[in-house]
Amino acid sequence: MQTIYILWLRQLKRYFRSKARIIGSLGQPILFFFSLGFGMNPIYQKAGGGNYIQFLAPGIIAMGIIFTALFSGIEIIWDRQFGFLKETLVAPTSRLKIMIGRTLGGATVASFQGIMVLALSFLLGFRFQNVLLLPVALIFIFLIALLFTGIGTAIASILKDMQGFQLIMNFLVMPLFFLSGALFPLEGLPKTLSIIASLNPLSYGVDGLRGSLINSAHFGMSTDLIILSILTGLILVLGAYLFSKIEV
């Protein structure tokens, strides 16, 4: 447990030491809120959809989480290139504990990022439908963070250079985000898009956030929670296996 705690704390220190990283990570959510939220709001209202900021905010919160969570994998490659990972792996502790500590640290950082975007959205006009469901929203935030930190760890465990990791992340992140229903309702989609959205793990995270924050879930919050929990467990097992096979 001490190893897990130390690695978790190390991930947090890395994040909070860089004020530029914290401020910069809010740039993209702010851009989406202003360009899409305020830009599309009049059209969305005329179409009878209500306030687009209300609809958009859960998707932007999820976006802030997955970018931070997935790119936490870069730290594994960085540590490998500079020899820090080798020093960690030769320590008298299991690789499973090392992976758990790093993953929990990355997920905590990504969750904090999601909470910051949630606070930002509140300042920009977003309002909760039911404050009592806020703890449920925090559970979804942490599950999304844990799932995508696990994905980032799994990918980083089989790559050796940051350029390859960034290419895969760019190929992965934007399709997952745009096809999750973060920017548009899942109701009434063409069959092909509907199937893709149903296979997208982020769809259940966004839907769970939308259900807990504005009481509007497409799949149902119970379904979202169950599927997200199962997927998170599977990804963490895969990430632990791949991390245990790292050669430094």
The domain ranges of the chain are: 2-244
Reported as a single tens digit per residue, the pLDDT across 129-161 is: 888 899 999 999 999 999 999 998 888 888 777
pLDDT the model gives residue 62: 93
Alpha-carbon gap, residue 103 to 112, rounded angstroms: 14
pLDDT the model gives residue 15: 63
pLDDT the model gives residue 5: 66
pLDDT the model gives residue 206: 95
| pLDDT < 50 stretches in the chain | none
pLDDT the model gives residue 118: 92
pLDDT the model gives residue 148: 92
pLDDT the model gives residue 199: 92
